[in-house]
Amino acid sequence: MEVSNNKKITSPLYAFLFISSIFIQCLPYVSSIGVNYGTLGNNLPPPSQVAQFLKDKTIIDKIKIFDLNPDILRAFANTGISVTVTVPNGEIPKLLDIGYAKSYVDANIKPFYPQTKIDVIAVGNEILHWETPEVQNKLVDAMRTLYQALTQSGINTIKVSTPHSLGILLSSNPPSQARFRPGWDVGIIKPMLQFLRETKGPFMVNPYPYFGYNLPQADFLLFKQNNGVFDPFTKRTYTNMFDMLLDAVYVSMKKLGYDDVDIIAAETGWPSLGETFEPQCTVENAASYNGGLLRKAVTGAGTPLMPKKKIDIYIFALFNENTKPGSNAERNFGLFRPDFTPVYNIGIMKGQPLLPEPPKPLPRPALPQPQPRNPKESRNRKPGRSPAPAIPVQPAPKLPAQPLPQPAAPAGKKFCMPKPGATDAQLQAALNWACTNQGVDCTPVNAGGACFQPVTLRSHVAWVMNSYYQLHGKNNFNCDFSGSAVIVFQDPSYGTCKYLS
């Protein structure tokens, strides 16, 4: 409809549109909400149905997959949903060759782009935690070469990054004192941040408050009303662990001079069901945590140190995946069941209200007691990885074929022990790994050593796991061992075998 400049507009439709435009401009910034779309299930719907469901029924506008599955990439063409794809860890050494990188782009990206809105290519997952130093040292060069291959192919809108577990942090408590681990900080992370600055790519991290679960701090971890945690150096009060971990990453980046690089929470979530030793895995807790994430995303709420910074969040995971290894919790991170019914309602479906925001912190801030979570490898690649949480369990689980623990240790002391259900294969792998170039002196569990008796795999591994945990920072994520370890509070020392504490 053409409108003359010298006529007064009286159309009701025009007036509605004018008022609507003003209203829209007054809305708060709306960030994206993403999900990790894993496929370790034998009852999952086909990708075409998944894409249609997300587009028509949910407010999800981003997905992250753990490979370059062509069926998924085809299914999400022309949906408007952004897709982050993942290059397997094993491809990193080969990607140093520009010819190989270009052929990789030709085979895995160009057939689907731009019909499928691929926005980020993740080069591996949690490389600094899981891979050898040889692969770690090739990571940044592989990222640069892949980006060069993209630009030479005429693709200028796809970013290249890599997700990190929070094992990259030496400390995170309080956030103002956080920093990256020495060696990785200037050797790998700093040049990576320089690359991300040059290419305007995001720094991707996988923060999991779930893995730092302890009952006294449950409300703080779950976005519920709590006393708050006060950082005396920045004078900021934190109302949830998620913000605390992200600000720890931000401070660490700032100390290297790269606080201008965007941060993405590439993987974070909470399971709705677990084993008997995983009491934190409930529908209520999962809904509370993921509901808090969703509320942050759709309102664009930042963190105390990044109040106006955009942080995209990818919830783990889209579906419960029934063939994932590990504890029952690993198979119950999903927002949806395979038949598309929600496991709980948090406002992810179109037309649903968000969960209400909890009241402001109660008086008297609590002293900071956070634990970062880290080693959670993308749960959809390495068989047997699936970490279960390092959680305080009281009383301590009985460990077969190992002497009974001594009475409870003094307050504050914690020990890392094998889980009762850990398999011999898991225990042997943990023993081999910890006793090889990890700084653990394993001679006490060798013949003649103070902890050699009893001669059982479980007894020996218990001593080694705890030694590694005590020597490497005593963080919850140091007691993981691919989901086979758990933190306890009773001293397992016996006779002349004294456990580090």
**Residue positions annotated with a catalytic role:** 126, 267
Q: Is the dihedral of CA 29, 236, 313, 315 positive or negative?
A: negative
Helix axes 283-299, 241-255, angle to 10 degrees: 50
Q: Is the dihedral of CA 101, 125, 348, 30 positive or negative?
A: negative
Instruction: Return phi, psi of residue 38, to 5°.
Output: -95, 160
Structure tokens of 40? 């370790």
Task: Give the helix, strand, coil percentages of the chain, each rounded to 5.
Answer: 35, 15, 50
Q: Is the dihedral of CA 222, 223, 226, 232 positive or negative?
A: positive
Question: Which has the closest alpha carbon to 372: 500, 268, 273?
Answer: 268
Question: Which has the closest alpha carbon to 247: 238, 235, 256?
Answer: 238
Whether residue 378 contacts residue 89, with contact meaning beta carbons closer than 8 Å, is answered with: no
Report the C-alpha gap between 102 and 40 in whole angstroms: 29
Whether residue 460 contacts residue 466, with contact meaning beta carbons closer than 8 Å, is answered with: no
Report the C-alpha gap between 274 and 256 in whole angstroms: 39
Report the C-alpha gap between 114 and 501 in whole angstroms: 55
Report the C-alpha gap between 177 and 44 in whole angstroms: 44
Whether residue 47 contacts residue 19, with contact meaning beta carbons closer than 8 Å, is answered with: no
Q: Is the dihedral of CA 354, 356, 360, 361 positive or negative?
A: negative
Report the C-alpha gap between 300 and 344 in whole angstroms: 23
Question: Which has the closest alpha carbon to 392: 225, 218, 208, 228?
Answer: 218
Could you identify the residue written with the tokens 């942090």?
169
Whether residue 320 contacts residue 337, with contact meaning beta carbons closer than 8 Å, is answered with: yes
Helix axes 424-434, 457-471, angle to 10 degrees: 40
* Residue 416: its H or E element: strand 415-418
> How many Cβ atoms are within 10 Å of 248's Cβ, its own excluded?
27
Structure tokens of 167? 């094992």
Whether residue 127 contacts residue 166, with contact meaning beta carbons closer than 8 Å, is answered with: no
Whether residue 303 contacts residue 24, with contact meaning beta carbons closer than 8 Å, is answered with: no
